[in-house]
Structure 1
Amino acid sequence: MKGKSNIIFTPSQPELKFSSQNYIEYCPQNLIRSEVSLFYQFTIDRHDEGFLQVIPDGCFDLLFCTHPIHPFAVIASSPNQRCIYNFQPDCEYFAVRFYPEQNSLPFAIPLKELIQQQQVPLFDVVNLPSFLLEKIASFPNFQERVKWFQHFLHTIQQKSDYTHNLVSHCIKKIYSSNGAINIKELSTETGYSDRYIRKKFEETIGFSPKNFSQIVRLQYSINEILNVTSPMEDKMDYGFFDQSHFYKNFKKHMALTPKQFREKFYMEK
């Protein structure tokens, strides 16, 4: 069973992107693409409170505050509901968004435990060399940081075991269905029981297959909602049984209806 295939999931944080300052991003196009969704950089002004809205995306983000006197690094996990994350004012952040099926970060704690927290000091939970923060902070611009980090990733990638390949294969199926596939279909596809797949998902990415599928559907729907001109009443059900199920799931994760989110986003943008 192959774990690698073309990525067709592009998770985003639209409110963070448009509410921070000096935001730039780069989407890798090489082999790193199977591990990293996005490199990005932004600043928080010294007079800003540093509160930014974050939405569920199923990913893990490494955040390096490159402050010349007080640099630090944290890992931010995906929330299960739209919420506010706190960022340090007067700081330029360099960030790397990893796909949940990544195989580079050697975690020191169970991922199910990690996703229950917003931001955790990076080196407390991931076994990475301590020079990483200093090296990132030493580069003068975004492009050099991206170039160096891509090279660094090649040196730490781990060999995939069968469990990782199984979960990665199932995740690709979830991506290709825009989150509409259910665990029984994954069980039939792989020959493993629902219970076994659920257990391996929680061990590998922290989320259950059902929860992760809902997040993928949410991300897909947000991309559509923010990039179409048709009225919200005309929106499709995004893989749910009907539109009411779509609205219920959207509000569960976002605490807003699709129309409210769209209006709020464009009002604040």
Structure 2
Amino acid sequence: MKIQKFEPSQLLKPFVNSFMIVESDTETVNRILPGTSLVMAFRFRGTTFSDNSPHAPLPAFCLTGISTSSRLIRYTCNTGVLLVHFREGAAAAFFNAPLHETAGYSTPLDQLLPAWQIQKIEEQLSEAPTHDQRIRLVEELLNTNLKYRATYDLVTEAVKLIKSTSGNFKISELVKLLNTNVNSFEKQFRSQVGTGPKHFSSIIRLRSAIQNYKNGADLTKLSYAAGFFDQSHFIKGFKTFTGESPSHFFKQGFYW
């Protein structure tokens, strides 16, 4: 599997973290862990399948919401996919639908954006000879559907605060600091980020634990660092998140 990352244009940098081209010359299975932002996919050749639906291909062009557990994605021979990794909370600038409705699913793009736009870019991507040209086409689509420029808002600040503590910021304290109320905050957060603040925080905690893991690490210390009361609760949460126990997971192959 070959993976290339590309920077977005200056206009899109506040909204898009990166573009990624994933190519597989042979049939490959990749584990995708839950992330904190939405991902838009444009498959320009080949076919992809998910373990959730192993006999039905994933939509060629789709928006994948935030999930609660890992997924296995199978790439057939000679498959190429362009991925748009949005910044946390930033995908809302392009879509009218509340983003928590996409949670755990890969929603076809023609259900979220004008169908004629998707048909047009499908034809253009199939004819584009280079990755640079493919990315320019996707950027044009994003620019066309950009509803507002980057501005400060409560959710953006909440995301920054949660990330600054590796997911260990108590929601009650967060709401108090931001001078808002729980119900209003959670509703706005879900709609803009794609999941609730508690689930968002748990993803950050577990991803931080995975990034900080070293061979022979003490799981009890790792559990406390990830915000769990004890090792047993950490292992349970870890299995839900990755589909495997910590000891087995860290022996496995490629994931992101």
Q: TM tier, shorter chain?
A: 0.7 to 0.9
Q: 1:138 to 1:104 in 2, by over 3 A?
A: farther
Structure 1 stretches of 5 or more lacking a match?
1-20
For 1:204 and 1:171, locate their aligned partners in 2 and report how far apart those are by CA, in whole Å. 11
Match of 1:53 in 2: 31
Secondary structure in 2 aligned to 1:207?
Answer: coil
Q: 1:140 to 1:161 in 2, by over 3 A?
A: closer
List aligned pairs for 1:89-238, cutoff 5 A.
Answer: 89-102=77-90, 103-107=92-96, 109-117=97-105, 119-127=106-114, 129-130=117-118, 131-150=120-139, 152-159=141-148, 165-225=153-213, 228=214, 230-233=215-218, 236=222, 237-238=224-225
Which among 26, 44, 50 is matched to residue 6 of structure 2? 26
For 2:37 and 2:143, locate their aligned partners in 1 and report how far apart those are by CA, in whole Å. 20
Residue identity over aligned pairs, in percent, reads: 21
**Cα deviation per residue 1:196-216 (whole Å; 9 max; x = unaligned)?**
211212222231100011111
Mapped contact 2:38–2:194 kept (Cα < 8 A): no
Mapped contact 2:69–2:242 kept (Cα < 8 A): yes
Secondary structure in 2 aligned to 1:232?
Answer: coil
Match of 1:4 in 2: none
Secondary structure in 1 aligned to 2:167?
Answer: coil
For 1:161 and 1:149, locate their aligned partners in 2 and report how far apart those are by CA, in whole Å. 19
Q: 1:86 to 1:112 in 2, by over 3 A?
A: farther
Secondary structure in 2 aligned to 1:126?
Answer: coil
For 2:36 and 2:123, locate their aligned partners in 1 and report how far apart those are by CA, in whole Å. 28
Secondary structure in 1 aligned to 2:64?
Answer: strand
For 2:239 and 2:253, locate their aligned partners in 1 and report how far apart those are by CA, in whole Å. 15
Which among 85, 89, 99 is matched to residue 73 of structure 2? 85
Match of 2:41 in 1: 63
**Cα deviation per residue 1:65-85 (whole Å; 9 max; x = unaligned)?**
1139xx931222232111223
Deviation at 1:39, TM superposition (A): 0.9
Normalised by the length of structure 2, the TM-score is 0.78
Match of 1:6 in 2: none
Name the aligned partner's letter for residue 211 of structure 2. Answer: N
Aligned length: 237
Deviation at 1:155, TM superposition (A): 4.2
Name the aligned partner's letter for residue 238 of structure 1. Answer: A
Range with bigger deviation, 180-189 or 244-253: 244-253
For 1:89 and 1:198, locate their aligned partners in 2 and report how far apart those are by CA, in whole Å. 43
Q: 1:92 to 1:241 in 2, by over 3 A?
A: closer
Deviation at 1:27, TM superposition (A): 4.2
Match of 2:54 in 1: none
Secondary structure in 2 aligned to 1:263?
Answer: coil
Secondary structure in 1 aligned to 2:191?
Answer: helix
Deviation at 1:28, TM superposition (A): 4.1
Deviation at 1:160, TM superposition (A): 6.2
**Cα deviation per residue 1:210-263 (whole Å; 9 max; x = unaligned)?**
0011111222222223xx4x5222754334155525444323311323332111
